Structure 1
């Protein structure tokens, strides 16, 4: 089952019944649902692309079994009759972004209220960091307001397979750390930057940056006090330190940020307000515009749009995007030529490692498409050695299989399955790999496991019927 279309009163197996649509993000739908075994109301996140479900909130899954008053609890995640769902606490609330859109401000707009909201977010992020969990997408749309503040949507940005399809508009571009733009990586230090950007927004009503190109280009921005003179200078100093471009020069921990902010607030008696808030984007950069085309899978239009931008010069970022749209259109040699022409040393130092990783990942996929498996294998092996993200080891395994190295492919897939057990896509690959190797008993064992996860997969059922016929 690659896609599942949720609708009101639809049952998911014998476990849930959907009651009310709550929201729609780049990753999935969110529904208010009832858990059938006990009638408890929960929130269900249902991935739009079910095959991506098993890239299962690697960060968020670490929070299972932990509760915090300012974090939406993740109760369970897995497959029900083949449908992947993430069961979360249902919290009657609205987002900070929704409040601003409706009223044009945050109520009340006194600094004391804004600090209260921010400190509750700090509490949540500090707890996550104590578990070595990075949120990765701190922004008003992920901050829920009710009688208390809670944060949600941790780690979902890691689930976007195509690296350039970014959350745009009111969201990520105004709060993302520069070192992780156009990257699936997130760090604890990038959360510190996002916290600084959030406090800047709360106290000024403006975002630090309006677009991703401004973030990349280190465009000068107004200091907080230049926008709102009510902001104490010591508070401004805290914000600017959190927003330091070099991650090593930011606050090293949320605790240190909190301590300095508490001191800065206590040293000032001045109570301020914020006139208004704005999510409007005054400058649509090419990154935001091409991101919209990516989401709609309009690859030819994206290529034409990117070529129009060449009049302003062709930097490494633009070239990487041009290579990407060529790859998506299956113009693999064109893509490879562009990738070979990119000068990594033209990328800002704090972005080089992540940029280079994304470049090599795209180049490896191009080599696979061209059946130049040895070159792809070398890149995937290097990426696997440098990065703990199992997507590289998984692709390294698959490429070994394509290159006829079946034993090596199985060994790597088994390692992936041990490190992150139960991923459907890995289990299916193992089942078919053992079948190809003619180790039918092991293949049947994996197919049986897969059948429990996706009972309506006809291909899997046919394999099991064949084994039952010939192996018994």
Structure 2
């Protein structure tokens, strides 16, 4: 992905022009079609990140397989998808226009829109849903949200991103909860009357209602994790914005009913109701000026709320409960890096090391894809490096600690951990080189001397190992690594009395009980061997 720049030609078919957007799986580029009479002159290319390629192949080809058959003005056309030049890509129709999210602005600073614009966009979206829902078998979009509605300058609102689209069999299908949390119907997040995790055709209707509510009021109906999970009641749109016509207010409320059966049953039914509202408004002559969308009071973001909750639990010593709540949240939503970092740290505390390692990696990929700087990456890189050592993924830890040491050379701890990781990876000569620099550039420490002694011992350079172990013990007579290995060296040299002195000292080191027990057993064996050899 890092090598893709404007002007590059992929597979002698597409010449990259400029990036249109970035997502969790990769980038979307505008591309010129080099030579294909069946395609328009320019297309949008969805290009997946290299680390995601294996999974991307399955996800993207499934999306393309479903979407290839869609031909409707309200759906962005998908032309094809495959692996080209080792890269998984999908090419689709280029839409010249912003997303509905960009047009409406952020929730904290919503931009005013006219009633005509809202009615037109809502009808466009309903048309797209009606087309999907009349397929045989019916299809749901599954990820309907503001950023998946593009405003084509030539033809209005159009739906894009069919990665969650799937067929509906026998009224509903099971779902994994994928999709943006604020847009998810109660039955998808496990709060439906009929059971947990079921996606109906009318689940798209609920998402439509969320979009309409946001257009009309400047805010989402339920804005926090607590409100979404607990189905907290929300005000009708007209209660927040009295300029909303009564008919339109009623349509939105019906879309947002808790029970799927109480909403419009299909996109076609929704489209008919939308047309009725438009006609009613035209007859009654409602003012067509801009609706007064109000900037709502600031509320905590989903990430803020989750982070605060988890932090409180961790402070109370309830780390396992914090991990459980964060895991449930991450199954239901696309989580922010802040929450993921908090989860990774808590997971490490309760021993979920593998999960922590994967989450740190996820954070790093997200931050890099979104142009984060070194300082923003630092916590995640440090966490992954530490966990990598615990998982014995030493070469990966070497790379992560090297990255940290190069960017913050004044942090001796990073360089020391880099040297330790090199040693654990069996690269003792490289480890010695780093440790020697640390030893020479500042007053020596017992810790660095002990690690130097250990590295030389692994290279069978016993005189040098002894030198550095002795230096470590001069600085700290209870340095455990030096005590352990000096006892071994003296035992092998036929000095069991000296070896036992080191062992007795090691037994007095708090936290070194296991090493002392191991050394005691080892000295017993080595003493026996020594006595046998003398005999």
- Secondary structure of the residue aligned to 1:180 is coil
Q: Which has the higher contact order (CA 8 A, sep 6+)?
A: 1
After superposition, the Cα gap between the structure-2 partners of 1:313 and 1:332, relative to the gap in structure 1 and judged at 3 Å, is: closer
Superposition pairs of residues 211-222 of structure 1, within 5 angstroms: 211-222=224-235
Aligned counterparts, 1:121-160, within 5 A: 121-131=125-135, 132-145=138-151, 146-148=153-155, 149-155=157-163
CA distance in 2 between counterparts of 1:134 and 1:141 reads 17
Decide which of 266, 274, 298 is 2:291's aligned counterpart: 274
Aligned partners of 1:29, 1:90: CA distance in 2, in Å? 14
Structure 1 residue 334: Cα displacement: 12
| Residue in 2 that maps onto 1:42 | 43
Contact kept in structure 2, 1:19 and 1:32, CA below 8 Å: yes
Output the TM-score relative to the length of structure 2: 0.51
Are the structure 2 counterparts of residues 276 and 30 from structure 1 closer, same or farther at C-alpha, using a change threshold of 3 Å?
A: same
Question: How many angstroms apart in 2 are the aligned matches of 1:102 and 1:207?
Answer: 11
Aligned partner of 2:208 in structure 1 is: 195
Change in Cα spacing, 1:110 to 1:303, as seen in structure 2 (3 Å) is closer
Say if 2:140 and 2:165, in contact at 8 Å, map to a contact too.
no
User: Relative to 1, partners in 2 of residues 1:65 and 1:96: Cα closer, same or farther, differing over 3 Å?
Assistant: same
Q: Distance in 2 between matches of 1:13 and 1:224?
A: 50
| 1:55 paired to 2:58 | yes
Question: Would you say the 8 A contact 2:127–2:271 is kept in 1?
Answer: no
Count of matched residue pairs: 314
Q: How far apart, CA to CA, are the structure 2 residues paired with 1:122 and 1:322?
A: 30
Moved over 6 A (4+): 182-185, 309-313
Q: Deviations over 1:282-328 (max 9, x none)?
A: 123458645xxxxxxxxxx9976763598899699717549995897
**Distance in 2 of aligned mates of 1:68 and 1:253:** 17
Q: Aligned partners of 1:256, 1:196: CA distance in 2, in Å?
A: 14
The equivalent residue for 1:6 is: 4
Q: TM-score, normalised by structure 1?
A: 0.57
**In the superposition, relative to structure 1, how do residues 305 and 191 fare at CA in structure 2: closer, same or farther (>3 Å)?**
farther
Structure 2, unpaired ranges of 5+: 167-175, 191-195, 332-342, 356-390, 392-535
**1:15-414 maps to which residues of 2 (within 5 A)?**
15-38=13-36, 40-48=41-49, 49-57=52-60, 58-59=62-63, 61-101=65-105, 109-131=113-135, 132-145=138-151, 146-148=153-155, 149-155=157-163, 172-181=180-189, 186-268=199-281, 269=284, 270-271=286-287, 273-276=290-293, 282-285=299-302, 289=306, 307=314, 318=325, 320-321=327-328, 331=351
Is the Cα–Cα contact under 8 Å of residues 59 and 133 in structure 1 kept in the other structure? no
Unaligned runs of 5+ in 1: 291-300, 336-368, 370-472
**Cα gap change, 1:15/1:264 in structure 2, threshold over 3 Å: closer, same or farther?**
closer
Contact 1:134–1:154 at 8 Å: present in 2 too?
no
Distance in 1 between the 2:247 and 2:275 partners?
A: 10
**Any idea what SS the aligned residue of 1:87 has?**
strand
Give the drift of 1:55: 2.5
| In 2, Cα distance between equivalents of 1:189 and 1:252 | 6
State whether residues 48 and 88 of structure 2, in contact with CA within 8 Å, keep that contact through their aligned partners in structure 1.
yes
CA deviation string 1:116-166 (max 9, x = no partner):
1110111112112223222122222121111222121222599xxxx78x7
Deviations 1:383-422 (CA, angstroms, capped at 9, x unpaired): xxxxxxxxxxxxxxxxxxxxxxxxxxxxxxxxxxxxxxxx
RMSD of the alignment, in Å? Answer: 4.0
Question: Following TM superposition, by how much is the alpha carbon of 1:31 offset from its aligned partner in structure 2, in angstroms?
Answer: 0.3
SS at match of 1:30: strand
Aligned partners of 2:186, 2:28: CA distance in 1, in Å? Answer: 29
